[in-house]
Amino acid sequence: MSELKEMKCEACHADAPKVSDQELAELIREIPDWAPIVRDNVMQLERVYKFKNFKLALAFTNKLAELAEAEFHHPGIFLEWGKVTVTWWSHAIGGLHKNDFIMAAKTDQLLND
């Protein structure tokens, strides 16, 4: 399988399948710093990124916004002083799709860019 960070998101419609428990177990291994969580009965992926100050956290948030627009897939973002919490899930299906794992991997890659 290709590395997730190299993949492109595909269009996700309301009838797209959510990832199975087996797929979740396999995909989460590729993004070990992310945690599957359930919020409002919706399975999501979440990670907290820490920075030295607000300016660096904001710069990361802006890079993430550009990535989200380029891929047409948008996360929940919570920006605080020195910290950004990012949450991925597919709104159209009310849960996790492979796109969310792709975007989590691409989000991690932003730290190296």
CATH 3.30.1360.20, domain 18-110, yes or no: yes
Cα–Cα dist 15/45, whole Å: 20
The residue ranges of every structural domain in the chain are 18-110
Q: How confident is the model at residue 6 (pLDDT cuts 50, 70, 90)?
A: confident
pTM: 0.94
Give residue 44's identity as a one-letter amino acid code: Q
Strands 35-39, 76-80: pairing kind: unpaired
pLDDT of residue 13: 87
Q: Report the chain's mean pLDDT, rounded to a whole number.
A: 95
Average of pLDDT values for 25-41?
A: 97
**Residue among 23, 7, 18 nearest 71 (CA):** 7
Cα–Cα dist 48/89, whole Å: 15
Cα–Cα dist 95/13, whole Å: 12
Decide if pLDDT at 68 tops 90: yes
Decide if pLDDT at 1 tops 50: no
